Amino acid sequence: MSLLVTGSIAIDTVKTPYGVSEDCIGGSAVYFSMAAGFFSPVRLVGAVGSDCPFDFDKVFAGRNVDLTGLEIRKDSKTFRWIGSYQANMDDRTTDYIELNVLAEDPPMVPASFKDSQYVFLANTAPVLQLQLLQQLHKPIFVAADTMDFWIEGHLDDLTMLLKKIDCLIINEDEARLLAKEHNLIKAAEKILGMGAWSVVIKKGQSGSLVCDSGGNKFVLPAYPAAEVKDPTGAGDSFAGGLMGYIAQTGRTDFTTLKTAVAYGTVVASFTIADFSVNGLTSIDRSDIDKRFEDLRKLTRF
């Protein structure tokens, strides 16, 4: 099935207690595509500037990612992010940011992508997420991410977006902020009341909580990973595994969503084991399936 992602492509510099990764590839659309590509062909929509040092054909070689929607803008510069993680690997600091191409008009959805059935709108201005969505003919299942900046400053747009998507994939602090409610079960219920059919709340090392408007609930711990070198991209690769599995199966019921969240959890656990996308480029689908069964065993009682 056709899975489209719109999001950022970044030049990242990341410092963690395990080392520094300079000018490496990052961005939500990159992590998402790498992760989703294990399950389903992916259509990437994103933009970079002429300074971008990455050979995308090489980056995504053999990875099932259609780059027709990748714009390389001659007079623009690529989004840059420099960040660091403290010893606990949870607290992240943005040391430097250059929006560059992300502050310009968003990339267009190519004509050949407009029939996409499964869609992930990575974090950006809700008004842009809405514009991107309007370019699609008739998507079956749309998921979106957002962040505190849009919740605090652009709530009207975000509320409009929530009525048009099927699943909000959001971290716990943002869920609390959006719902104005600390308890996550109550927060999830409030968010469902805003429109989306389902909400997936990411709790980092504490796993995730999934609720739908039919009253179904699912709680899953994170995969107990002994190796954590760089948490960057965990959330976007989680979303990639999740949406990739949904697109692969072509089903959108709650049972499928639960399995999809488990696959997202597993893919994210590979992402954080190494810097940049290295944790994903060094594995294949059989590694994911093996760890998926392991996670099932680890949580079964």
Binding site for its own copies (CB under 8 A): 87-89, 182-186, 203, 205-207, 209, 217-222, 224-226, 228, 258-259, 261-262, 296, 298-301
The set of long-range contacts for 21-29, using a CB threshold of 8 Å and a minimum separation of 24, is: 21/230, 21/275, 21/276, 23/53, 24/275, 24/276, 24/277, 25/54, 25/59, 25/276, 25/277, 26/81, 26/232, 26/233, 26/276, 26/277, 27/79, 28/122, 28/123, 28/145, 28/236, 29/5, 29/122, 29/236
Least gap, CB of 221 to its own copies (angstroms): 4
Query: How crowded is residue 300: how many other Cβ atoms within 10 Å of its Cβ?
Result: 6
Q: How far is CA 62 from the centre of its chain?
A: 21
The least CB distance from residue 93 to its own copies, in Å, is: 17
Q: How far is the CB of 219 from its own copies (least distance, A)?
A: 4
Provide, rounded to whole angstroms, the least separation between the CB of residue 85 and its own copies.
12
DSSP code string of 55-124: -HHHHTTTS-EEEEEEEEETT---EEEEEEE-TTS--EEEEEEE-GGGGSPPPPPPGGGTT-SEEEE-SS
**Closer of 122 and 211 to its own copies (Cβ):** 211
* Residue 111 or 226 with smaller CB distance to its own copies: 226
CA distance 115 to 40: 15
Q: Which is nearer to its own copies, 118 or 218 (CB)?
A: 218
CB of 189 to its own copies, least distance (A): 8
Give me the least distance between CB of 266 and its own copies, in Å please.
11
Residue closer to its own copies by CB (options 209, 243) is 209
Tokens representing 218 are 């699912």
Cβ nearer to its own copies, comparing 167 with 261: 261
Residue 124 Cβ, how far from its own copies at the closest point, in Å? 29
Q: How far apart are CA 267 and CA 32, in angstroms?
A: 10
